[in-house]
Amino acid sequence: MTASVLDRPAAPPNGGPAARRAVIRWAWRLLRREWRQQLLVLALITVAVAATVLGAGVATNAPPPAGAGFGTADHLVTLPDRADVAAIAQRFSPVDVIENQPLPTGLAGSAQLRAQDPGGAYGRPMLALVSGRYPSGPAEAAMTAQLAAALGLRVGDIWPGPAGTRRVVGVVENPQNLLDEFALVAPGQLAHPGEVSVLFDAGAADTAGFTFPPGAVPLTPTPPPGVSPEFIVLALAVVGLIFIGLVATAGFTVLAQRRLRALGMLSALGATDRHIRLVMRTNGTLVGGLGALAGAVIGVAAWTVYAPRYSVSVNHRVSWTSLPWWLVTAAMVLAVATATLAARRPARTIARVPVVSALSGRPAPVKATHRSIRLPLALLIAGPVMLFFSGGWGSRSTTQQLLQLGGLAASAAGLMYIAPVVVGMLGAIAGWAPFTSRVALRDLARYRSRSGPALAASSFAVLIAVLVALISTGRFTDSVDYVGPNLPHDQLIVYAPGDDPADHGPSPATPQANTDPKAAAAAIADALGSNDVLALDSVRGGLAQCRGGAQEICGSNGKLYVATPELLSHYGIGPNDIASGTQLLTSRPHLTGLSGLKLVGFALDQFGNGIDNPRIQTTDRLPTGTSQPNLLVTQQAVDALKLEVTSAAAWLIQLPQPLTATQINSARQIAVRSGLTIETSSQQPSLDEVRNYATATGVLLALGVLAMTVGLIRSETAGDLRILAATGARRRTRRTLTAVTAGALGTLAAILGTAVAYLATVAFFRSQLSERMSQPPWLDLLLVVVGLPVAATLGGWLFAAGEPATMAHAPIE
C-alpha cells in the first residue's frame, strides 16, 4: 500500500470524468428525491421562461409582419390601370401583378374583387387557402370567409357576382391582413380593374433610373421604429431572472444545509472540495435546466393555443412557429445560468464545512464575520447620485441613459448587499423583545445566509413594484404630455387623410380611394348606428415646456384641436364660461401651475412663433381620462399665432354602448376603403390599473419568497422547537415564532424596498418633484408598507398551526 497506492498513475488526481459522472449522477438522484423542496425555484424559473416565450410571441407579432402588403418583394407600385404594367414588368422582371376592383356587397364594409396568381413571384404571403381550392377558370371564384358569410355562400355554391356567375371553389384569406375582405378570381379575369398593384424586387438605383407613371410612387417596406420588442422582452426576462437568482440562492443554501451530512459522508469517502461543489452546482444546473425546459414547453404550448386567437386581435395570421427562437433559446440559457450561478455560493460555503462538522450535521460555528456596511452604503449613495445627474424625465442622450441604467443597477445592488447587514442587526436589537420574538429575531440573524438573500429578493420585488408605481404616477401626471387611455370604449375617432396623429400612412395593399372624408365618416357613424358625430378642427401646433433653453415639444403629436363653438357646445361649455384672453382650455390638472410653457405653432416640423406662458383655463367639462380632446386651443390663440386651421380634421363618434369587435371591423373596412383611419380604445391601462397590478405582483412575489424562507428557517430550527416544547412551550409559541419571523422579514422588505425606490425616484425626478410626485400613490404604498408585513405575519401565524414533520425526526435520512 502506500505510496504506490497514492501515486497510482492510472487514476487522475481528482478522479477525472468518471468521478464527475458519479457525482453528477448522485446529484440527479438527490434532485429526484428532494424536488419538492425546490419546487418554488423550479416554479419561478418555469414561469419566467414560459412568460418570456409567451411575451416574445405577443411582442414580436403585435406589429404587422415585416413587408406587409409587399409579400416577399421589396418594392410596390400601385397603378390606376394596366396600361403601364408591361413597361414595369419589362424593366423589373419578374413582377407579380395583383388587380383589384371594388366589390359592392350592399353591406357595411366594402370588399374587393381580386385577380391574383396564387403561385405569383412575390404575392404568396398575401394569399392563403383556408379550404377548397384556388379558382382556375373563368367560372370560378374563392372568397374570404367573412365575405362568403356576408353573401350567404359556401364552397360549391353559385355566386352571381359582378364578374359573372361563378362557382365558389374555396375559402381564402390574406394572412398579412385579415381585415382584407375579397373575392379571388384567376389572373386576367378582371375586365376593368380599378387598381393594379405591381410587386417587384429592385435596387434603389434601378427605381431611380426608371420613370414611373405620374402619381405612381414605388414604395418600400419600412422597418418598425423604436427599440425592438425582442430586446425589451429580453431585458424584462433578465430583470426577472435576477430576482429568481436571489430566491434560488436562498433555496439552495437551505438545501445545502439539509444535505450537510450526506455531503460530509461523500467527503469522508474521498470526494474533494471540487466534487462537493459539483454536487450543488449540478443541482442548480439541473433545476435551471428542468425549469427552462418546462417553461419553454409550457410557453410554446400556450403560444400555440393562443396564436390563432392572437391572429384575430392583431389582424394578421400568426403561426405558432412565429416565435423569435433565438430569444426562446436565450431565455432558456439564461435560466440555466441563473440557477447555476445561484448555486455557486452555497456550494462554496458547504465545501468549506469541516468534514467532521458535516458528518455530525452541524454547520461550522458561525464566525463573527464583519459585514461592512460601506459597500452597500456606497452603492445606495452612488445609485441616486447617478440618477440625479441623468437628466431626469425626457433625457435622451446616451450618457444620460447610461447614467439611468447605472443608477438603477447600483441602487438594486446596494439593496441586495445591505439586506444581510440589516438582518444581522436584528440579533442586536432583539434583546428588548419578548422571549418568543427574541428567539425568532435571533434565528433570523443566525441563519442570515438564508434570510439575507430572501430579504434581498423580497426587497427587490418591493423595489420594482414601488418604482413602477412611482414612475408611472410621475408619467401619468405629466400635464404637458398626456399619456393614458386614449378613448372610452364607446367612442371612435375618424381621421381625415393625413391627419391621423399616429401617421401610419395608407396601406399599400389598399390605397386610399377618392372618397369624401366627411361622407365616409358619416357612413361609419351610420354603420355603427350612431348619429352623434362631432367634427374636430385642428391646427399644427403644440404645447412645449421650455427648460434650460431646450424645448421639449409635447401635446397631441404636434396637433391641437380648436375650441370651436360646436365642440364647446358639445361639452356644455358656453361662450361665457371661457375667461377673456384664455388661449388654452384643458381638463388636465396641474397644467396651469407649470412654468416655462410655450404655445407654438409650426409648419413642416419647424418652430414658428410662440406664446410664452399662455393663459390656460382648466375646465372639468372637457373629457378626462382620455386623450381626445382634452386640450383645446382657443380662437384667440389661433388668431394670435396665425395658425392654419384644418377644418374637419377628424370626427369623434359617440356610441350608445361600447364598440364590438364586429363594429370596429366594419368601421375599419369603410375607413380603409376611403383612405381614412380610425382610432378606437387602445386598451392602454389607466394609472390605477398599472399601479395596482404592479403592487399586487410585488407583494405576492415578496410573500412567496418569505413563505419559502420562513418555512425553511423554522424547519431548520425544529430542534430548538423540540427543546422549547419540552420546556413547556405551547402551540401559541410556535405560531408566534413563525409569525414574528415572517413579519420581521416582511417589514424589513417593505421598508428597504420602498425606501430605496423613493430615494431613486426622488433623485431621478429632482427638479420636477413637485409636478411628478404631486400625487403619491398612497394606497399602493399603504398596501406595501403595511399590507405586506401584516399579510406576512398573519400568514406565518396561520400556517404555523401544524407541527412540522421534522419535529420528531432529524431532517436528513
Partner 1 sequence: MIALELRAVSKHYGDDRNRVDALVEVDLTVEPGALVAVMGPSGSGKSTLLTIAGSLEDPTTGEVLVAGEPLSAMSRDAKARLRRRSIGYVFQDYNLLPGLTAVENVAMPLELDGRSARTARTAGMEALETLGLTERAEHFPDQLSGGERQRVSIARAIVGERRLLLADEPSGALDSVNGEAVMRLILAACRQGVAAVFVTHDAQLASWADRVVFIRDGRVVDQTTPAAGVESLLQSSPHRGPDR
Binding footprint of partner 1 on the chain (CB under 8 A): 1-3, 5-6, 8, 10-16, 18-19, 21-23, 26, 29-30, 32-33, 261-262, 265-273, 275, 354-356, 359, 812-813
Q: How many CB atoms lie within 10 A of CB 29?
A: 10
Nearer to partner 1, 10 or 604 (CB): 10
Q: Residue 219 has what DSSP assignment?
A: B
C-alpha cell at 311: 391572429
Nearer to partner 1, 275 or 446 (CB): 275
Find the shortest distance in angstroms from Cβ 355 to partner 1. Answer: 4
C-alpha cell at 519: 361622407
Residue type, 486: N
Torsion from C-alpha of 149, 151, 152, 157, nearest 10 degrees: -110
Nearer to partner 1, 208 or 269 (CB): 269
Find the shortest distance in angstroms from Cβ 282 to partner 1. Answer: 13
Helix (H, G, I), strand (E, B) or coil at 95: strand
Find the shortest distance in angstroms from Cβ 5 to partner 1. Answer: 5
Nearer to partner 1, 23 or 553 (CB): 23
Instruction: Give, in order, the Cα–Cα distances in Å from 56 to each of 316, 321, 326, 457.
Output: 17, 12, 10, 25
Find the shortest distance in angstroms from Cβ 727 to partner 1. Answer: 22
Torsion from C-alpha of 347, 348, 353, 355, nearest 10 degrees: 70
Find the shortest distance in angstroms from Cβ 286 to partner 1. Answer: 13
| ∠ Cα 222 225 231 (to 5°) | 120
CA nearest to 241, candidates 50, 376, 374, 111: 50
Find the shortest distance in angstroms from Cβ 434 to partner 1. Answer: 31
Buried b (16+ CB within 10 A) or exposed e, 598-634: bbbbbeeeeeeebbeebbbbbbeebbeebbbbbbbbb
For every residue of 367-388, which 3-state class applies, written as one string? CCCCCCCHHHHHHHHHHHHHHH
Residue type, 127: L
Q: What is the spatial distance between Cα 491 and Cα 534, in angstroms, rounded to a whole number?
A: 11
Which residues partner with 121 through β-bridges?
Answer: none
Find the shortest distance in angstroms from Cβ 438 to partner 1. Answer: 25
Nearer to partner 1, 18 or 519 (CB): 18
C-alpha cell at 755: 425606501
Find the shortest distance in angstroms from Cβ 310 to partner 1. Answer: 44
Cβ atoms of 182 and 174 within 8 Å: the answer is yes
Find the shortest distance in angstroms from Cβ 10 to partner 1. Answer: 7
Residue type, 117: D
Torsion from C-alpha of 756, 757, 763, 768, nearest 10 degrees: -150
Nearer to partner 1, 3 or 208 (CB): 3
Nearer to partner 1, 12 or 308 (CB): 12
Helix (H, G, I), strand (E, B) or coil at 598: strand
Q: What is the spatial distance between Cα 433 and Cα 665, in angstroms, rounded to a whole number?
A: 66
Nearer to partner 1, 208 or 808 (CB): 808
Q: What phi, psi does 726 have (nearest 5°)?
A: -65, -25
Helix (H, G, I), strand (E, B) or coil at 92: helix
Nearer to partner 1, 6 or 579 (CB): 6
Nearer to partner 1, 11 or 149 (CB): 11
Q: Residue 785 has what DSSP assignment?
A: I
Find the shortest distance in angstroms from Cβ 440 to partner 1. Answer: 28
Phi-psi region of 515 (alpha: psi -120 to 50; beta: other; left: phi over 0): beta
Find the shortest distance in angstroms from Cβ 430 to partner 1. Answer: 24
Nearer to partner 1, 14 or 569 (CB): 14
C-alpha cell at 290: 428542468
**CA end-to-end span of the chain:** 34
Non-local (6+) Cβ contacts of 324 within 8 A are: 56, 60, 230
Find the shortest distance in angstroms from Cβ 30 to partner 1. Answer: 5
Nearer to partner 1, 18 or 502 (CB): 18
Nearer to partner 1, 359 or 433 (CB): 359
Helix (H, G, I), strand (E, B) or coil at 679: strand
Which residues partner with 131 through β-bridges?
Answer: 171
Nearer to partner 1, 29 or 154 (CB): 29
Concatenating the DSSP letter of every residue in 630-665 gives SEEE-HHHHHHHTPPEEEEEEEEEE-SSPPPHHHHH
Nearer to partner 1, 33 or 192 (CB): 33
Q: What is the spatial distance between Cα 58 and Cα 492, in angstroms, rounded to a whole number?
A: 25
Find the shortest distance in angstroms from Cβ 363 to partner 1. Answer: 16
C-alpha cell at 315: 389582424
Find the shortest distance in angstroms from Cβ 680 to partner 1. Answer: 59
For every residue of 31-83, which 3-state class applies, written as one string? HHHCHHHHHHHHHHHHHHHHHHHHHHHHHHHCCCCCCCCCCCCCEEEEECCCC
Find the shortest distance in angstroms from Cβ 46 to partner 1. Answer: 23
